[in-house]
Every structure is written in C-alpha cells, then in structure tokens.
Amino acid sequence: MAIVIAITNNKGGVGKTTTTLNIGGALSMLGKKVLLIDLDTQANLSSCFGLSTNQESHVGNFILKEIEFKDVMIKGDEMDLIPSSKFLIESEEKIASKTRREDMLKVRLNSIKEQYDYVLIDCPPNLGLLTINAVFASNYYIAPIEAGTFSYLGIGELINKMNELNEYGAGIKLLGIMIIKYHEKMRDTMKKTIITSIKNSLGLNVFNNYVRVDGNLDKSQLKRMSIFKYSPNSNAAIDYLGITNEILGKL
C-alpha cells in the first residue's frame, strides 16, 4: 500500500517540482515503485516528462472520474505520472461545486494505491482546493524552502493550514522542512536565522541534509530526467539521496 507524500508550500519557485521529481528519482533508484501526481496548472512536472501544458487528459479529469487511471497515467523510464494541464483550472471549478470536494482525490487514489510504494504529489503554489485535495489524500507533507531568502517566514501559515485541515479530518503529518539552494558560505548566517527560527519558534523538523545550489537540476529537467539519471555523481544527486534516506528512516 503506497505512502502518499505531498510536496507543498504556498510560495512559488521554492523547489516543489524539483523535489518531487528528484525524491521520486531517488526512490525509484532504490527499487521502489513510484507514482508522481502533478497538481499545478503550470504543469512544470509534466513538462519534465516531455508533455505539453495543454494536455487534454489530466489529473482534473481523473479527480472528476471522467477518465480511468490507465488512460491518464503516463509511464516514464523511472516512474509513472498523472499529468497536469492548463485545463486543470476548468476542472478545479467543477470540483468546487461537488459535495465531497475536499477528498475526491483521496477516494480516487484508494483504488490504485496497491500498485505503488510511494505516491508523491507536486502541489500548486497556493492553499486552494487542489492543495486541500492533496492534503486529504496524503499521509505526510514535505515543505521545501529556499536558503538565504525569507521563504521560511511563510511556513507558519502553511503549518496552521495543515493543522486546521487535520481538525476537519485530513490526518496529514509533517515529514520535514527541506532547505534547498544552499551555499557553503551561508552556513553561519543560515544556522542563526532560518534553522534556529524554524526549530525554536515552530518546533519543526528540518532535514539534516540540505540541497546545495546545483545547475545540473535545471539541465536534468530540460533533458526530462531526474538528477539520478542525468548526473548521478552531482552535488544535487548526493543531497537528494541523503534526504531520501532520511525520509525512509522516518517512515
């Protein structure tokens, strides 16, 4: 039975898509069966599988039961994908008018969970209905934040939202806050600011491994593969494998 993990942060450009692709890549390299779900209308994760952003069959159709899993799923070399599309916006409006609009994705995933070890959901950069569906469908969430920026300041809002959804029956737990785009020379300032404030003020888990700045991540996405296929010895591959091992140790 798959463990479902949402990669979420209500900010854009903080590494959600990159993290979904590469934790997925690491798990796949470790022999796990992985399904990725692209829930962002920008469809960046789907582009990493070579798909256009105006894909006709997409996750919105799947949530609304307009299409079967086997007809929407894309098989990749490393892992499988339920793609997104710019047309997902139209589905989101339809989902909003349904009675059980928060847990429709959860219900749809129940029937396919035994086919995978892990399902990773790449969330949109907001706390709207699609993210809420991801939260209800997931056992855990990972929140990536960028080192050296103030993106960590928004984490409190994210945590509050998760706690609120848990009161409504979601049942999601924080797996960890993940720091990306880390530079060796930031070490001292970052320890003082980001890590201390996250740990002290929020009492949250921060992964011990950080993902260093590595241009190979951009390049691997253009080549439509995870960092583990594109450049297995790169810093980013080493760091994402470290985080994935931490995750496996926690589950």
Ligand X SMILES: Nc1ncnc2c1ncn2[C@@H]1O[C@H](COP(=O)(O)OP(=O)(O)O)[C@@H](O)[C@H]1O
The site for Mg ion (CB under 5 A) is made up of 16-17, 44
Closest distance of CB 19 from Mg ion, Å: 9
SS3 83: coil
Query: CB neighbours (10 Å) of residue 122?
Result: 28
Closest distance of CB 13 from ligand X, Å: 4
Between CA 208 and CA 205 the distance in angstroms is 9
Closest distance of CB 119 from ligand X, Å: 17
Pairing type for strands 74-75 and 173-180 reads unpaired
Nearer to ligand X, 217 or 247 (CB): 217
Place of tokens 């892992």: 79
Q: Where are the beta strands (DSSP E) in the chain?
A: 3-7, 34-38, 74-75, 80-82, 118-122, 140-146, 173-180
Binding to ligand X by CB under 6 A, coded x per residue (else -) over 192-231, reads -------------------x-xx--xx--x----------
SS3 142: strand
Nearer to ligand X, 64 or 195 (CB): 195
Nearer to ligand X, 58 or 181 (CB): 181
Nearer to Mg ion, 17 or 91 (CB): 17
Closest distance of CB 99 from ligand X, Å: 31
Residues 146 and 181: beta-carbon distance below 8 Å:
yes
- Please list every residue from 2 through 61 that binds ligand X, using CB under 6 A: 12-18, 44
Helices (H) and strands (E) in the chain, counts: 13, 7
Backbone angles phi, psi at 19, to 5 degrees: -70, -40
Partner interacting with residue 91 (select from Mg ion, ligand X, none; CB below 5-8 Å by kind)? none
Residues 7 and 142: beta-carbon distance below 8 Å:
yes
Nearer to ligand X, 44 or 244 (CB): 44
- Please list every residue from 108 through 167 that binds ligand X, using CB under 6 A: 125
Nearer to ligand X, 142 or 170 (CB): 142
Partner interacting with residue 92 (select from Mg ion, ligand X, none; CB below 5-8 Å by kind)? none
Question: Number of residues in contact with ligand X, rule: CB under 6 A?
Answer: 18
131: tokens are 């993210």
Backbone angles phi, psi at 204, to 5 degrees: -100, 160
**Contact positions toward ligand X, by CB under 6 A?**
12-18, 44, 125, 180-181, 211, 213-214, 217-218, 221, 236
